[in-house]
Amino acid sequence: MITREENKNIYAGILFILILFIIWGIASLLVKPDFGEVYNIVQVTQKMDSFKDEVPDTIDVIFAGNSEVYRTFSPLQIFHETGITSYCMSESALRLCDALGLTKASFETQSPKVVVLEADAIFSDSDPHKDNYALPTNLIEDIFPIFHYHIFYKAYVPEFVFNDSVDLRTEHALRGFVQTDMAVPYTGPADYMNEGDHVRINRDSRKYLDLMREFCEEKNVPLLLTAAPNAKNWNYSKNKALQEYADKYGLDFLDLNMHVQDMGIDWNTDTMDGGNHMSFEGSKKTTAFMEEYLKENYDLTDHRGDPLYSDWEKDNEEYELYP
């Protein structure tokens, strides 16, 4: 027999939980991004904010992907040598879902002519709600996205102490490229393309790759798939998987690993971390190769001398990266 007091307590308990769910629901509505589901809301929001500093409709090429992008392609060098404007919409360990979100966001203020998607993110985790570090909380993220986007505040509260870090200062000037002085030689086998396991594009990645392709089709912008030179994480198996995808949908695919000798990559000096990312010297070679490819294959304008793009020339002079 339940007493009156116990009855009251049961109702109080249910009411407490109901109110808690309502609070979580409201908080979820407030923090869920309106540009689609992303994995790391802080990275994406900060990148979008810095990208908004660009003069509207001045960016021709969007480089999307993870750290491979901002270590491999330098927009300032491309502009300096060809007059083509570009931006690295990339962050460390960026997932494909976030690359898609950033690419979509870039079209809000700009009218890019080409989207270049670097492939490393395709062969990593791509789903916004699948997190090896937090799978159990993923269980309720769909119902209460506050558990996924709970670090949203970091994008808005400024970094008082560490805001003088090189990456943040140079974000705008270098258009997302991150310059480094580090160079750690790659000492593995020269035929690294034969190494590694057989891989396929997993289901999550394929889903976001399809979404990226469909978005570019909708915007009537060519999607160029590329793979940065990577002696640690790239091989023929990945090349084949991506080539098949590109062939199936009539996309361009430029695997820079197949042109390592053409570019003159020296694995002793051109990688910053033993083969995974390009060093600054390496990035000069890969960027030069990519800009030639863009120039030859797409109808892109040389903006050098145009007063609207004077910032680009000023930034190059200030940072003295490309004399």
The answer to whether residue 157 forms part of the interface with other proteins (CB under 8 A) is yes
Answer for the pair 116, 221: CB distance below 8 angstroms, yes or no: no
With respect to other proteins, which residue has the nearer C-beta, 20 or 308? 20
The answer to whether residue 138 forms part of the interface with other proteins (CB under 8 A) is yes
Answer for the pair 200, 241: CB distance below 8 angstroms, yes or no: yes
With respect to other proteins, which residue has the nearer C-beta, 157 or 323? 157
The answer to whether residue 40 forms part of the interface with other proteins (CB under 8 A) is yes
- Taking the C-alpha atoms of residue 247 and residue 164, their distance in angstroms, rounded to an integer, is 45
Residue with tokens 């997993």: 202
The answer to whether residue 49 forms part of the interface with other proteins (CB under 8 A) is no
With respect to other proteins, which residue has the nearer C-beta, 140 or 182? 140
Answer for the pair 65, 120: CB distance below 8 angstroms, yes or no: yes
Strand-strand pairing, 86-90 and 61-65: parallel
Contacts of 256 (CB under 8 A, 6+ apart): 72, 226, 227, 228, 229, 263, 286, 289, 290
Smallest distance from other proteins to CB 206, Å: 14
With respect to other proteins, which residue has the nearer C-beta, 36 or 222? 36
With respect to other proteins, which residue has the nearer C-beta, 162 or 248? 162
The answer to whether residue 184 forms part of the interface with other proteins (CB under 8 A) is no
With respect to other proteins, which residue has the nearer C-beta, 31 or 254? 31
With respect to other proteins, which residue has the nearer C-beta, 145 or 282? 145
With respect to other proteins, which residue has the nearer C-beta, 40 or 77? 40
Residue with tokens 């003159």: 264
The answer to whether residue 2 forms part of the interface with other proteins (CB under 8 A) is no
Contacts of 216 (CB under 8 A, 6+ apart): 115, 222, 223
> Which tokens hold the place of 6?
């116990």
> Which tokens hold the place of 24?
């979580």
CA angle in degrees (0–180, nearest 5) for 175-112-48: 50
The answer to whether residue 27 forms part of the interface with other proteins (CB under 8 A) is yes
The answer to whether residue 23 forms part of the interface with other proteins (CB under 8 A) is yes
Q: Which residues, 116 to 135, sit near other proteins by CB under 8 A?
A: 129-131, 133-135
Contacts of 305 (CB under 8 A, 6+ apart): 83
Q: C-alpha distances in angstroms, 214 versus 58, 210, 304?
A: 23, 6, 32
| Size of the residue set binding other proteins (CB under 8 A) | 42
The answer to whether residue 159 forms part of the interface with other proteins (CB under 8 A) is yes
Smallest distance from other proteins to CB 74, Å: 24
- Taking the C-alpha atoms of residue 138 and residue 133, their distance in angstroms, rounded to an integer, is 10
Residue with tokens 């990148």: 47
Answer for the pair 190, 272: CB distance below 8 angstroms, yes or no: no
The answer to whether residue 250 forms part of the interface with other proteins (CB under 8 A) is no
Answer for the pair 88, 75: CB distance below 8 angstroms, yes or no: yes
With respect to other proteins, which residue has the nearer C-beta, 23 or 199? 23
The answer to whether residue 154 forms part of the interface with other proteins (CB under 8 A) is yes
The answer to whether residue 308 forms part of the interface with other proteins (CB under 8 A) is no
The answer to whether residue 277 forms part of the interface with other proteins (CB under 8 A) is no
Answer for the pair 91, 47: CB distance below 8 angstroms, yes or no: yes
| Piece in contact with other proteins (CB under 8 A), picked from 157-165, 225-233, 256-264, 298-306 | 157-165
Residue of 49, 57, 108, 165 that binds other proteins (CB under 8 A): 165
Which residues are near other proteins by CB under 8 A? 6, 9-10, 12-13, 16, 19-20, 23-24, 27, 39-42, 129-131, 133-143, 146-148, 150-151, 153-154, 157, 159-162, 165
